Amino acid sequence: MSERPFMQLYVSDFIGDTLHLSTEQIGAYMLLLMAMWNAGGKLPADEAKLARVARMSVKKWKAIADDLMPFFEVDGETIWHNRLTKELQKSESKSQSRSAAGAEGGRAKALKDKEARLASAMPTPQHLPDTITRLPSEDARAPDPSSGFDQFWEAYPNKIGEPTARSAFLKALKRASLDEILAGARAYAAKPDDRQWCNPVKWLSEDRWKDRPAKPPEKPPPKANGLAHLQKPQSREEYIAAELARSERSFT
């Protein structure tokens, strides 16, 4: 049987179980356990062979065997160790599980490689010219919102808070068309100067492109005053004539 990669050793248990053994006996015990592990869990119940495993003479083995053999079970012509056998079975079970997983992974990789080779071997579809295969997408036909905002920003008179105005404009496009918003902005820009300008974010958020403001009342013509004759440009002759006429009226 092939050698196992490692043997589990419970140090605390081992030290507690061997307190009564000498250094030489502990060494022989460890050699027997390791040889038993590599041999698949059993050793021959033969004093000469066990002495050789423990690396001592048969005479020396017989001198320490009474202290060591209680650790082992004797089964006819072989000896075995109860705890070592259990650890060996667990190790072999884990090894088999890893081998099965490795084999499964190998099969999956082989299948994947085969599929890749088949895909590479398949003919590549002929590429058709872009003019045939490409159709304008919905996004390509739709107007660019950013260019629409630039038109709005150019038309709107009160240019403040551009970043937030851009965001409000994109939201407004969901409620009205670009033409409606632009028409409203141009109409708003033509309002009389005596009215306060609205913040563009507020104007967009409140759908102000729908506003139909009333026309301001017409201003009455300015009243004439006593200096009306001075407001009209006069020549020197006209000025002298007007002064003479005014003098005559004052003496009448």
Every domain of the chain and the residues it spans: 1-117, 142-210
Q: How far apart are alpha carbons 33 and 26 in whole angstroms?
A: 11
Whether the pLDDT of residue 121 is over 60: the answer is: yes
Does 128 or 56 have the greater pLDDT score?
A: 56
pLDDT tens sequence across 123-159: 665 555 555 445 545 444 455 666 799 999 999 988 9
150-199 pLDDT, tens per residue? 999 999 988 999 999 999 999 999 999 999 999 999 998 887 766 788 99
Span 221-227, average pLDDT: 62
Range 64-78 average pLDDT: 92
Contacts of 231 (CB under 8 A, 6+ apart): none
Strand order in the sheet with 43-44: 43-44, 78-80, 73-75
| Confidence band of 1 (pLDDT split at 50, 70, 90) | very low
Q: pLDDT digits over 29-38, tens only?
A: 999 999 999 9
What string of DSSP letters covers 108-151?
HHHHHHHHHHHHHHSPPPPPPPHHHH----HHHHSPPHHHHHHH
Identify the three-state secondary structure at position 101: helix
Q: What pLDDT, in 10s, does the model give residues 5-52?
A: 678 788 998 999 899 999 999 999 999 999 999 999 899 999 999 999
pTM above 0.85, yes or no: no
Helices 23-38/82-121 angle, 10° precision: 40
